[in-house]
Chains A and B, each alone.
Chain A
Amino acid sequence: MTAILETRGLRKAFGGNVVLEDVTLAFAPNRLSAIIGPNGAGKTTCFNLLTGFLEPDRGEIRFQGRDITALPPDRRAKLGICRSFQVLNLFNDYSVLENIRVAVPALRRRGFDCWTRAGDVREAEDRAAGIIRLVGLAGREHVAARFLSYGQRRLLEIGVALAGEPQLLLMDEPTSGLGSRPMETLRELVQRLAAGLTIVVIEHDMDFVLTLCHDVTVLHRGTVIAQGTPDAIRDNREVREAYLGTLKYTKARG
């Protein structure tokens, strides 16, 4: 099966600090893939390259066979690459409904319409209602995002990404900071979504990664050190060393 998204030889440096080096990835359609790695491995930078918030120094990104390396974030979103953020990034004064509605393509296509009432764009309204039910925020439609609980805001964060009708959903640490109960809600949601959608998730929670995901990519110091099924990753020596911090000694000796 051909990959929906692939990268070839991506490199990104901030000044002299090389954050990603020669990153080549491929994500197969309709699978739930995870990118894991210790702090500072370059995971979020990788997402920012994939979504166009950063430009790579070298390398190329192809989405559904098309070179998108030079496309800005909004153009990529229109192609169906939708993302959520690690640090909550919501429209805090907007209600749940407004947050989601503004991200729906049916409203976006009428973004320069100065005359119609926003709530009168039926298609957007219906779509938004569906998303709100899907992420489990029904009954909270008219509450401003800033008044939601943290767990609900995490759900809304995913809802806004989903509203864009993604071909590919990129989630940056969706479980970050969640307690065990909201974590369970989120696991269920991701599991349901994975049934019909290509998802790439950055995650620290190993239980989440090893039990839910189909493929795992391990980043360490800006390079891909392992790729494979959760089982293969679990048994990979290099991955263990990366997490336990012994890798630098082996490298120094070798």
Chain B
Amino acid sequence: MTAWTPPAMLGVFTLFLVLPAVLPWIGGYTYLGTEVMIWAIFALGYNLLLGYTGLPAFGHGAFFGMAGYFLAVSQKWWTGGLWLPLLIGVLGTALCGAFVALFVARRRGIYFSLLTIAFGVMFWFLVFVLDTWTGGEDGLTGLLRPAIAVPGLGAVALRDNLPFYYFVYGFFVLSTVLLWRIVHSPFGQVIGAIKQSETRARAVGYDTTLYKGAVFTLSCAFAGLAGGLYSLARFGAFAEPMSLQQSGNVVLMCLIGGGFASFYGPVLGVAVFLVLRDFFSTVTDHWMLLYGLLFMAIILFLPEGILGLVQRVRRPTGFHDTGTAEAARAAETTARGSKP
């Protein structure tokens, strides 16, 4: 029986809980931890599409980025405050996701990917077309992180890096638990079935288009949460997270960490990606070259990502928790034995 908060998850939570105290000792800084958690929310939500439903969307950065604008516009000219703009970021992005889903949910494979790229580029250009609202090249700066009331601590100013780290941490924990429940729920079973055989899923009575649309929208909602937090982290909404390159980055993060092999793959992928970016850029000006080579090596030699390697050693049954390794091995031997 799947636990709702398994030991591995508690381990990840503990790690991020104590991370700010440890980071200075290993040459890191609090903001890096914040960034990792924000991108982890984005990547975990994106992996619902890529890893769990098998839908490679290549324009997801658009949703990550647009949330910042929703939040910024709301905070500057409409609602003000913190919670409402965050909520509007999530809902606005999910709504745009649902709109795009109307067009892409019927598609599969390369057609799905191409359409998501097209929409990604369209939203990117929209930022510059609507520059009276978005600030165009300059972005929307001057976002506020007002103090929030925390029971027992009183008003906590989020302006500083450390309180903001724990603010993001709260959302990271919430998102992780939520996504864990989703992938182990009946809905999670259905999207996994669609990934493995869409025809069979339809034959057993699932309107697969509707489910694919729902997953797309859900993953956009998480992109919206992450994107809103990202704009708060940088005190501004900018176009650059919406670029195709950033859309590609989230795919890479999932693949490197092992999003096809493990729930936590995207988190590890994000950490490796961002830490190496920092490390390589201090070593050489040509860090992009090193970076590219490393990723090529990972894709070539660890096609299932870093956690994929771990899983392969520990449990040869593959992606889904299908019982013990012993049972699988026994079955495999039987299967081999009974062949003519």
Please, what's the 1-or-0 string for B12-51, where 1 marks a CB less than 8 Å from any CB in chain A?
A: 0000000000000000000000000000000000000000
| Closest-CB distance, B209 to chain A (whole angstroms) | 9
A204 within 8 A of B: no
Find chain B residues with CB under 8 A from A51 CB: 203
A-B contact pairs, 23 of them (CB 8 A): A83-B203, A85-B200, A91-B200, A92-B196, A93-B192, A94-B193, A94-B196, A95-B322, A95-B323, A98-B322, A102-B201, A103-B204, A103-B205, A114-B187, A117-B1, A118-B186, A142-B324, A144-B322, A144-B328, A146-B318, A147-B328, A149-B334, A149-B335
| CB atoms of A118 and B205 under 8 A apart | no
Partner of B2, one of A108, A111, A117: A117
Indicate whether B110 reaches chain A with its CB closer than 8 angstroms. Answer: no
A98 to B189, CA, bound (A): 8
* Residue pair A107, B197 in contact (C-beta under 8 Å): no
B246: min CB distance to chain A, Å: 27
Q: How far is the CA of A115 from the CA of B182 in the complex (A)?
A: 6
CB-CB nearest 5 A-B residue pairs: A142-B323, A77-B205, A103-B204, A95-B322, A147-B331
Cβ-based interface call for B199 (8 A): yes
Q: State which size class the interface on A falls in.
A: 35 or more
Q: Is B132 part of the contact surface with A, judged by Cβ < 8 Å?
A: no
Chain B residues within 8 Å of A, Cβ to Cβ: 1-2, 4, 181-182, 184-190, 192-193, 196-197, 199-208, 211, 214, 317-320, 322-324, 327-328, 331-332, 334-335, 338-340
B322 touches A142 (CB 8 A): yes
Please name all residues of chain A whose beta carbon is closer than 8 Å to the beta carbon of B214 when the two chains form the complex: 112
A116 in contact with B185 (CB, 8 Å): yes
Interface of B, secondary structure class, is helix
B340 touches A179 (CB 8 A): yes
Interface residues of A (CB under 8 A from B): 51, 53, 72-74, 77-78, 82-83, 85, 89-95, 98, 101-103, 105, 107-108, 110-119, 121, 140-144, 146-151, 160-161, 163-164, 179
Do the beta carbons of A148 and B331 come within 8 Å of each other? yes
A78 — which chain B residues lie within 8 A by C-beta?
Answer: 205
Q: With A90-B197, A149-B338 given, can you name 8 additional A-B contacts, CB distance below 8 Å?
A: A53-B203, A114-B182, A118-B185, A118-B188, A142-B324, A147-B317, A161-B203, A164-B204
A98, B192: Cα distance in complex, Å: 10
Nearest-neighbour CB distance to chain A for B48, whole angstroms, equals: 10
Whether B317 contacts A144 by the Cβ 8 Å rule is yes
A119: B residues at CB distance < 8 A: 1-2
Cβ contact of A144, chosen from B201, B205, B320, cutoff 8 A = B320
Considering only CB atoms, which chain B residue lies closest to A76 in the complex?
A: B205
A142-B327, A179-B340 known; A111+B204 contact, CB < 8 A: no
Specify the chain B residue showing the minimal Cβ separation from A78. B205
Contact B199 A93 (CB under 8 A): no
Among B192, B193, B334, max chain A CB count under 10 A is at B193
A110 and chain B: residue at smallest CB distance:
B186
- Distance between Cα atoms of A107 and B189 in the complex (Å): 9
Taking each of A101, A119, A149, which has the highest tally of chain B beta carbons within 10 Å of its own beta carbon? A149
Q: Which residue of B lies closest to A113 (CB)?
A: B186
Assess whether B189 is in contact with A90, with CB atoms less than 8 Å apart. Answer: no
Say whether A73 contacts B203, CB under 8 Å.
yes
Contact status B184-A118, CB under 8 Å: yes
Check B322–A102 contact: CB distance below 8 A: no
Which listed residue (B189, B199, B318, B328) contacts A53, Cβ 8 A? B199
Do A73 and B202 touch across chains, with their CB atoms under 8 A apart?
A: yes
Choose among A92, A103, A118, A140 the residue with the greatest number of B CB atoms under 10 Å from its CB: A118
